[in-house]
Amino acid sequence: VQLVDAGGGLVQSGGSRELSCTASGFRLDYYAVGWFRQAPGKEREGVACINSRDGTTYYADSVKGRFTISRDNAKNTAYLQMNSLKPEDTAIYYCAADFSPSMVVRSGVNEYDYWGQGTQVTVSS
């Protein structure tokens, strides 16, 4: 069971970036998926989450209107499209999955069992 997140890099302020999270060893269909981030010296925080049943989403206030979470179960992959990036978005971004064949949107760090290795996103001013 593995999650591989990718797509990080250096981007200028105001730019865009798409992160991907590909599952292997299990089907993502029945899993809630979340994207989290951790900046130096700060706690890991939920950024965006999506349930497994109908695509209901949650976004942190700091990213609403700029980030979009989506999933493509046929590709066993989830995505985080990040637009209008700001220097304060700089962090290591992690995807996570939790077996949850329901309408529940899970936004807490402790609600997820499987984690990707993280991908660094750096936004320059």
pLDDT digits (tens, 9 = 90+) for 94-110: 999 999 888 888 889 99
What stretches of 22-102 show up as alpha helix (H) in DSSP? none
Q: State the average pLDDT over residues 73-91.
A: 97
Which pLDDT value is given to residue 101? Answer: 85
Return the pLDDT at 104.
Answer: 85
How far, in Å, CA of 20 to CA of 34, rounded? 11
| Three-state SS at 48 | strand
Mean pLDDT score of the chain = 96
Percent of the chain with pLDDT over 90: 93
